[in-house]
Amino acid sequence: VDVFEVVGISAYILPFIGANILLCCCLKLQSRYAPAKRFIAHILSSGVGIYLLYSTMQSGHLYVILLLISIYLLLKASFIWQSCRLRFDYIISIYAVMYLILCEIIEEDRGAWHHARGVLMIAVMKAISLAFDTRADARLKDAFSILSFLGYICCPANCIFGPWTSFGEYLTVQTKQKSHFSINLRYFAQILTNLVVSISCVLLSNCTDASLFFGHPWKWVSAYGSAFSFRTSHYFISFLSQATMVSYGFTGIKNTAPKSPTDRYVSYFGYVVVRPLSIEIPRSLVDVVVVWNIPMHIFLKQYVFRVVKPSGTFTALFVTYMVSSLLHGLNFQLWAVLLTLGLWSYVEYNIRKKLAAIFSACVLVNKCSTSCSKHKVGKTKVLSILINTIFFILCVINLAYLGFILEGDNGFSLVDALKKWQSLDYTTHWLALVGLVFYYII
């Protein structure tokens, strides 16, 4: 990969990124210095968002329009027939996911669908959460209107790059009082920091793989390079979305993982979607799953896992896996990765839980607090360090193994993906099997 070619690609997308952030900043400045009535704020939000959608999508506008119309009508129907026993939140959720899959089946142009998929995915997630939130919270239901609906779904802060955010958070940003909007040096520094890290990640994604890992004689180094390239591409989009969210006025305090250095991350970036250090230097795959896309983790936990959990934990986990897979479309290699990730996370969680009980050591998948009183062997003791280091190495191996088949924009067939895993001797799957045996032995 030519470095200048990479810079050229970055230069091509920079005008659109700049326009997106500039428009979001203008909307925040308007809210700060020329606050308008709430319905005008929704009109401005939806208008700018629709303009951005029209500018970035080569085709597929009809898919978005039909989704907006159908979801709005279903939501209005749920308000009209709220006394009946029909669970419209379930109906809307199933309809939205099936609509996403149907659009992918109908669309013959793979390139056009690749551009439309992310936009529709975010819109579908918003529709699902909106259905549940307006049913559970009367205040959100009262705030719902055609303008607030369009303003939320088409919000310029996240209609293109994401991340998902709830209807309540959107309304909070729109209704903030003038005195609560702080536009200062930190505000612009956070936007700039996110942009610099984002562009650095896309350059790192292309250049590092080509110069250090490509064609390496040891297959695991090459696999790690491919996986690292995929991860940095994800960081690029994540930090870009953080920049747009900050520029619009969102804060990331509600979207950070538990027991994480939230104050430091929010101080640096303003809004937290991803935590790369926790992925590149992982404690566990469970932790990686949480911090890979924190808003999406919250969405799946709140609107899928907790909703289905009364039917049983296993059922809730299975449905969460299915919804997560379907939201990403008919990407069978990603389905295989998510299934393998879930399998190993389950094995790792149970092994470490049992080891923590046997040795009374701080070796759980989630880091113990500094003053942990549950375990006799603290995290600074040799035994804890040894066990945690072993799982750290296993986690790095698993990340290389799983990310190895995800390189490329449009991917390749599941057969090709399995051939890649075969070249790595199906290591993670064998490790999961050995882990299960070890778990039952101890």
Cα distances (angstroms) measured from residue 343 to each of 286, 321, 371, 398: 11, 11, 31, 12
Q: Is 377 helix (H, G, I), strand (E, B) or coil?
A: strand
- For residue 64, how many other CB atoms are within 10 A of its CB? 21
Q: Is 129 helix (H, G, I), strand (E, B) or coil?
A: helix
Task: Report how far residue 171's alpha carbon sits from residue 140's, in angstroms, rounded to the nearest whole number.
Answer: 9
- 301, with CB counted inside 10 A (0-12, 13-18, 19+), is middle
- The runs of H, that is alpha helices, within 107-184 are 110-136, 138-143, 146-153, 167-174
Residue 34 C-alpha from the chain's centroid = 33
Considering only the C-alpha atoms of the chain, give the largest distance between any 2 of them, rounded to a whole number of Å: 67
At which residue do the structure tokens 């609107």 appear? 303
Token pair recorded at residue 106: 């109908």
At which residue do the structure tokens 């989630």 appear? 366
- For residue 295, how many other CB atoms are within 10 A of its CB? 27
Token pair recorded at residue 25: 């900043």
- The pair phi, psi for residue 357, each rounded to 5°, is -75, -40
- 4, with CB counted inside 10 A (0-12, 13-18, 19+), is exposed
Say whether 61 is catalytic.
no
- For residue 363, how many other CB atoms are within 10 A of its CB? 28
Query: Which residue of the set 114, 328, 375, 429 is catalytic?
Result: 328
Long-range CB pairs of 86-89, under 8 A, 24+ apart, other chains included:
88/131, 88/135, 89/128, 89/131, 89/132, 89/135
Task: Report how far residue 432's alpha carbon sits from residue 52's, in angstroms, rounded to the nearest whole number.
Answer: 45
**Closest among 294, 288, 345, 350 to 321, alpha carbons compared:** 345
Provide the residue type at 73 as one letter: L
Active site residues: 328
